[in-house]
């Protein structure tokens, strides 16, 4: 890769939009060319600083209320026949997608309790955002949130202060998943809330799996007899970072990272799409990069359903 090409693909590299080979070429050039490396670092730092200083405008409460009222009245005004037809069109396309999905993946993936839980977790997450009921106990202090769950749950959820890692605690909430009361911890990264659902698990530890459901990134697994589901509209890498910081923080750096399997759901059917990190086969080496300055490769995020 030439110096000109570096300048051209700089943004795509920073945004992890370069394919793996080009990203590797890019990094190789930076290692060999001092001028490009210095310029790259300056650009990257400036870009990061601009990005964090760019304000995100929140919709005013009054506007959200107005919209709800408006939607309610427009619904009443609408003609039942057209609305019914439209709703059926949605239902029909859903059925077609489901049928198609089942046909394709039936043999490989039977509906599992994981799927059902995934759907509930996503619904709970959305509900918590919509109803403006993100937390029952708003506090950034784990020593306030932890005792709040006493008597409400039959277990004591682990809570961590991740503000040094850039994930401040917003609070806790009692929620229900899989017909049981669970702890929902809410953290935030910039304007993105993260819901972390926790409950005790009798199963052995299982490695974290990453999913994308209805546009949300979800990571779940079992760690130290705690089943966890983390969900957010945050990007996949930062959500992984969050899970890693929460569960694998205290470990040695060498095995801090968890081995990831990435799966995608399309209309609640799971498509197995194991990450093809060939160089990691047979070794214990981590697949999840630990906040690298230069990222190794971009995560192969699944494309949204193009049906």
Partner 1 sequence: MSEKVWNKPTPEHVRKGEREVFERTVLPYVNAAYNLARWLTRREEDAEDIVQESLLRAMRSFGTFIPGRDARAWLLAIVRNCCRTRLRRKGLEEPADQLDETVPATGLWSNPETVLIENINSQLVRRAVEELPLEYREVLVLRELEELSYKEIAQILDIPLGTVMSRLSRGRRELHGRLCNVIQEGRK
What span, in angstroms and rounded, lies between the C-alpha atoms of 162 and 145? 14
d(CA 171, CA 134): 8
CB nearer to Zn ion: give 33 or 271: 33
* Residue 204 interacts with, from partner 1, Zn ion, none (CB under 5-8 Å by kind): none
Q: Could you tell which of partner 1, Zn ion, none binds residue 104, using a CB distance below 5 to 8 A set by kind? A: none
- Taking residue 42's Cβ as centre, other Cβ atoms within 10 Å add up to 10
Q: Which does 19 bind (CB under 5 to 8 A by kind): Zn ion, partner 1, none?
A: none
CA–CA separation, 65 vs 88, rounded Å? 28
Decide whether 211 or 234 has the Cβ nearer to partner 1.
Answer: 234
Q: Which does 117 bind (CB under 5 to 8 A by kind): Zn ion, partner 1, none?
A: none
Nearer to partner 1, 76 or 253 (CB): 76
Binding mask 2-21 for Zn ion (x = CB under 5 A): -x------------------
Report the residue number, 33 or 301, with the smaller CB distance to Zn ion: 33
When binding is defined by CB under 5 A, the residue of 1, 18, 23, 36 that contacts Zn ion is 36
Q: Classify 258 as helix, strand or coil.
A: coil
The DSSP line for 104-157 is HHTTT----HHHHHHHHHHHHHHHHHHTT---SEE-S-HHHHHHHTBTTBSS--
Alpha-carbon dihedral 87, 93, 97, 100, rounded to 10 degrees: 130
Cα torsion 75, 267, 111, 216: sign: negative
Q: Which is nearer to partner 1, 88 or 108 (CB)?
A: 88
Provide the binding-site residues for partner 1, judged by CB under 8 A.
7-8, 10-12, 15, 17, 39, 42-43, 45-47, 49-51, 53-60, 63-64, 66-68, 70-72, 74-75, 78, 80, 83-91, 93-94, 97, 119, 123, 126-127, 129-130, 191, 214-215, 233-235, 266-268, 301, 303-305, 307
Which residues have C-beta within 8 Å of that of residue 243, sequence separation ≥ 6?
A: 208, 219, 221, 228, 230, 258
Q: Which is nearer to Zn ion, 3 or 94 (CB)?
A: 3
Q: Choose one: 1-9, 220-228, 230-238, 240-248; the region binding Zn ion (CB under 5 A).
A: 1-9
CB atoms < 10 A from the CB of 245, how many?
19
Interaction of residue 33 with Zn ion, rule CB under 5 A: yes
Q: Which residues bind Zn ion (CB under 5 A)?
A: 3, 33, 36
């Amino acid at each position: 890769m030439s110096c000109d090409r570096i300048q051209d693909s700089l943004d795509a590299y920073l945004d992890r939009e370069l394919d793996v080979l080009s990203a590797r070429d890019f990094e190789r050039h930076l290692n060999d060319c001092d001028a490009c490396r210095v310029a790259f670092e300056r650009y990257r730092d400036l870009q990061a600083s601009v990005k964090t200083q760019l304000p995100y405008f929140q919709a005013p409460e009054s506007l959200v209320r107005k919209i709800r009222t408006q939607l309610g009245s427009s619904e009443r005004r609408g003609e039942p026949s057209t609305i019914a037809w439209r709703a059926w069109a949605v239902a029909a396309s859903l059925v077609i997608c489901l049928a198609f999905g089942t046909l394709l993946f039936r043999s490989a993936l039977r509906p599992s309790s994981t799927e059902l839980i995934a759907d509930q977790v996503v619904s709970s997450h959305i509900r918590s955002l919509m109803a403006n009921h993100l937390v029952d106990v708003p506090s950034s202090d784990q020593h306030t949130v932890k005792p709040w769950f006493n008597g409400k749950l039959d277990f004591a959820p682990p809570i961590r202060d991740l503000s040094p890692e850039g994930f401040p605690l917003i609070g806790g909430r009692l929620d229900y998943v899989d017909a049981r009361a669970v702890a929902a911890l809410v953290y935030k990264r910039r304007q993105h809330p993260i819901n972390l659902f926790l409950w005790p698990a009798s199963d052995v530890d299982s490695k974290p799996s990453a999913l994308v459901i209805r546009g949300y990134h979800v990571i779940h697994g079992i760690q130290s007899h705690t089943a966890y589901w983390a969900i957010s509209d945050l990007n996949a890498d930062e959500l992984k970072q969050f899970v890693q910081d929460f569960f694998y923080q205290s470990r040695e750096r060498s095995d801090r990272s968890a081995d990831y399997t990435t799966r995608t759901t399309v209309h609640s059917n799971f498509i197995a799409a194991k990450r093809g990190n060939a160089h990691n086969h047979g070794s214990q080496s981590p697949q999840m990069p630990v906040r690298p300055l230069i990222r190794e490769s971009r995560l192969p995020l699944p494309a949204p359903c193009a049906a």
